[in-house]
Every structure is written in C-alpha cells, then in structure tokens.
Amino acid sequence: MIKDFNKPRPEGFRTGDRVWPSDLGRKRQAGPHMSFQVGEQHSHLNQANINTRAVHCGQYDDPLTGAVGTPIFQSSTFILNDESYDAIDEGRAREHFIYSRYGNPSQWSVQEKLASLEKAQSAMVFSSGMAAITSSVMSLMESGAHLITSRDIYGGTYHFFHEDLEQYGMNVSFVDLTDIEAIEAAITDKTKVLFFEAITNPLLKIAPIKDIVKLAKKYKLRTIIDATFASPMNLNALELGVDVVVHSASKYLNGHSDLIAGVAAGSRKLMDPIWGQMLKFGGSLDPHACFLLERGLKTFGLRLKAHNENAQALAEFLEQRDEIVKVYYPGLPSHPQHEMAKDILDGFSGMVSFEIKGGDKASALLTKTLKLPRLATSLGGVESLISLPHNTSQAALMKSQLREIGINDGLVRLSVGVEDIEDIKNDFIQAFEQLRTQGVLK
Ligand SMILES: *Cc1c(COP(=O)(O)O)cnc(C)c1O
C-alpha cells in the first residue's frame, strides 16, 4: 500500500520528527488494548471483583470463528498498511501490530488482564522477571544516577545492581529496608530510584511501602516495588502510590511452575519508556508463553486464596510444634511487622519460612523426609516447594554474611501449595517423627 503523507496528523505531532512514545504531546490512553484494534471495550469489568477480572479481562474471543479464549498468535510479523506506517510516524508503534517484539495480540490480551489485576493504566509482559526488572530500572535511571535498595533482594537483582549498574556509571546503596530513617539518610541529590521487594526472601520482611512512597514524593524520586512474593491479590502497590510494580510472573501469577515470564505495570507515562527499553534489551514474551500465562491467571484469585489460607494455617501449626525454633510469616502476631503487614497487605501470601531444631543437618533431612513438597527453588506454584536458602537463593554468601542478614542455621523456606492443608500437616507430622527417630532434632 502507498503511504499518504498528506493525511492530517494528530495534535502534538511535530512534522519531520521521528517521535518516541515518551515525548508525545498527546494525551495518553490506558493500554494498549485489543479494543484499539477491534473496538470491543472491557470497561464494564473495571468495577468487577478480582476473580471476575482474572477470568474475563483482556480475553479476546475470535470474531471469525467464535472460539472462546485468546488464540495463540504465533507470528513474528504483521502485514503492513497505511495505519502501521502512521503508527510508526506518530509514535504509536506500541499501539499497532508491526513486529512481535514490539507487540503481539497474545501479549496484549494477557497484559490487559494483568493491568486490571494491578489496577494499572498499562502493563507489559517480559521474557522473565529479570527482564522486567532490568528494563524498568534502566528506563528510570541515567548515567551518574543513584539507586537505593536493600541487601536481601532477589539474587539476580542484587547482582545486576552490584555488578552492572556500577559499570554503567551509576551508584547503588544497600540499606535495611525496615529502617525508613536509614533509607532517608541514604538519599543524595543524585538519587533517582527506590527499589524494594514488598515481601523479602527468605525472612519475609515487609517493605514500609507507605513511608517509602512519602519519601519518594518528598525528594521527587521514583519507586519500583518487586511484588512477586505478595502478588496483586495481597498488595495493590500502585494504589499505595508506587510508580512501577514488577513481578516474576514465573511465580504466583502463572502459578503452575511451567513458565518463565515477567511483568511491569504502572502509568502509561512510565510504561511507554519501559516498553522502549524492552525493545532494546529484547526481553519480550513469546506468544505461546503469553497464552500459558493468561490461562494460569484465570484461576489467580482462587489459587491465591488457597495459598493464603494454607500458609496461615501451616504457620500457626508450625509455631506450636516443639521441633520448630521460629516461624517467619507476616500473618502471625509474632512477626515483628505484623501490624504494618495488616495495614498494607490483604492476605499474607503462601510463603512460610521457619528454623528447625538441629540446624542445617535437620533441615536437610526434613526436605528428604517430607513427601509432598518438591525440593526445588522457585515458588508460587500449585504444588508445595521447599528449599534451603543457605544452598539456593543465598548460596553465594559466607556463613558470617548469612548471619548478618538474619539467616540462621536450620532455616527452611516453604512455598505452600494448594494441596489440602490436612495432608500437608500430616506430612510434617510423619517427617518430624522420622527426624526424632534419627536423633537430629537437637
Ligand atoms: C524469581 C524472582 C525474580 C526473577 O524472576 P525470573 O522470572 O526468574 O527472571 C525476581 N524477583 C523475585 C522476588 C523473585 O522471586
């Protein structure tokens, strides 16, 4: 098709410019949504509750065949027409199908569902949680800029901050995220971004998000919260004033331990440049993976309700047992931030950590004697997963460093699945008996 160069341009369009979405003069719309292409609106769902939104939002029913559910649009490229050229010229490339790294209907569908769960103007899927984190951070940082975070963040994120940001001429401070005064004291005139995990691994500390947002407003900083452990069921970070929320969708969002994916969500104003950063880093999500993620998300509300309930019940059960030294769970009154957790969170997630008597020897044997939880890293799947932080997520640390961040001998991390809670408890009871018989619980 021939491009019509004489067509009138929308307001804000500067003739002769190649505009990126980040410097558009026009008003930003939520999305991108499939309705941009087919005119169908999902706005009636905006007021719906979480299960309804998880099932219906973003779903694209094929108008040609009537097939229910978003098809897998397994194509790398799309037929060009005048609309595509205009979209490129007018900086609307994010709103038109051109090439699948830029956007694909399977991505848009699941993104709309995720945006709805996060109550975000716009959401983006990535090929991994790390792709979401690196693209989001790099789009908000610049050479010479400073970022504040905590030491007990996800290992991949820590290595990216510690090794790469410094190489790009940026600076990072690691502070105790439970100490808001320490966070404020770390702010300099170069600080741009506060990056924290809503619930940390493996000690399940809670980020004081309301205070962090206040600091960000006071000093004009951007906040990024990794809400992987909380999930949008338990935390609406954007409603609390956070700028960008990121997730490893490999965990609770997908929920079936069969996919690697990431998500970032926030205002269109911030998500458009993050999209531009993703185009360069290249971490876009494959259409088949989008289908799996969208399918997993349909039961998101049901799964998370079961994870929350099971974890609360198991945490209470473990806290009563003689074999256990200490249980870490924000839903327990014994958690040092329980009151704040109740204020920020709506449910305390499916992650429970605990220290067993008998130290690392007993914890190692426990993982072998339990029959239900799979011994594997990762979390948030329907099946319970168990791991030992000292030889998985924190394996790079020396014993003294482990103690420094509060990881004691015998610490076990459990991602409580959606199995029947009585079966999980009975499994622990039989395992404790075996450990007693073997005399390791000292
Ligand atoms: C797993 C995880 C990540 C990394 O996500 P991937 O999907 O593995 O890239 C980031 N942050 C947290 C808190 C995680 O648990």
Q: Which atom of ligand 1 is nearest to the CA of 262?
A: 7
Residue-averaged pLDDT of the chain: 92
The response to whether residue 156 sits with its C-beta less than 6 Å from ligand 1 reads yes
CB 269 within 8 A of CB 26: no
The response to whether residue 140 sits with its C-beta less than 6 Å from ligand 1 reads no
Active site residue 154: yes
For residue 202, say if its preceding peptide bond is cis, omega within 30 degrees of 0: yes
DSSP state of 76: S
pLDDT > 60? residue 311: yes
Amino acid at the residue 274: I
User: Which of the following is catalytic: 89, 226, 243, 272?
Assistant: 226
pLDDT > 80? residue 204: yes
Give, using CA atoms, the residue closest to atom 1 of ligand 1.
248
The residue among 429 and 18 whose pLDDT is bigger is 429
Give CA–CA dist 140/244, Å, rounded.
10
The string of pLDDT tens digits covering residues 342-389 is 999 999 999 999 999 999 999 999 999 999 999 999 999 999 999 998
DSSP state of 371: S
Q: Rounded to the nearest whole angstrom, what is the distance from the C-alpha of residue 345 to the centroid of ligand 1?
A: 20
Give, using CA atoms, the residue closest to atom 7 of ligand 1.
129
The string of pLDDT tens digits covering residues 154-176 is 999 999 999 999 999 999 999 99
The residue among 133 and 390 whose pLDDT is bigger is 133
pLDDT > 80? residue 11: no
The response to whether residue 128 sits with its C-beta less than 6 Å from ligand 1 reads yes
| Domain 35-297 part of CATH 3.40.640.10 | yes
Active site residue 101: yes
Q: Rounded to the nearest whole angstrom, what is the distance from the C-alpha of residue 233 to the centroid of ligand 1?
A: 17
**Which among 313, 332, 287, 329 has a CA at the least distance from the CA of 413?**
329
Burial class (CB in 10 A: 0-12, 13-18, 19+), 210: middle
In what side-by-side order are the strands of the sheet with 122-126?
A: 122-126, 262-266, 244-248, 222-226, 191-197, 146-150, 171-175
6 band by pLDDT with thresholds 50, 70 and 90: very low
The response to whether residue 250 sits with its C-beta less than 6 Å from ligand 1 reads yes
The string of pLDDT tens digits covering residues 47-76 is 899 999 999 999 999 989 999 999 999 999
Pocket test for ligand 1, best of 228, 260, 392 (most atoms within 8 A of CB): 228
Active site residue 60: no
User: Which of the following is catalytic: 26, 101, 342, 361?
Assistant: 101
pLDDT > 80? residue 115: yes
Give CA–CA dist 169/142, Å, rounded.
9
The response to whether residue 160 sits with its C-beta less than 6 Å from ligand 1 reads no
Domain spans in the chain, listed from the N-terminal domain onward: 35-297, 300-437
**Which among 67, 75, 132 has a CA at the least distance from the CA of 103?**
75
The response to whether residue 197 sits with its C-beta less than 6 Å from ligand 1 reads yes
For the chain, percent of residues with pLDDT exceeding 90: 82
The response to whether residue 251 sits with its C-beta less than 6 Å from ligand 1 reads yes
Q: Rounded to the nearest whole angstrom, what is the distance from the C-alpha of residue 127 to the centroid of ligand 1?
A: 11
pLDDT > 50? residue 133: yes
CB 419 within 8 A of CB 384: yes
Please state which CATH class domain 300-437 belongs to. Answer: alpha beta
Give CA–CA dist 424/14, Å, rounded.
63
Active site residue 62: no
Give, using CA atoms, the residue closest to atom 9 of ligand 1.
129
271 band by pLDDT with thresholds 50, 70 and 90: very high
The response to whether residue 59 sits with its C-beta less than 6 Å from ligand 1 reads no
Q: Rounded to the nearest whole angstrom, what is the distance from the C-alpha of residue 24 to the centroid of ligand 1?
A: 32
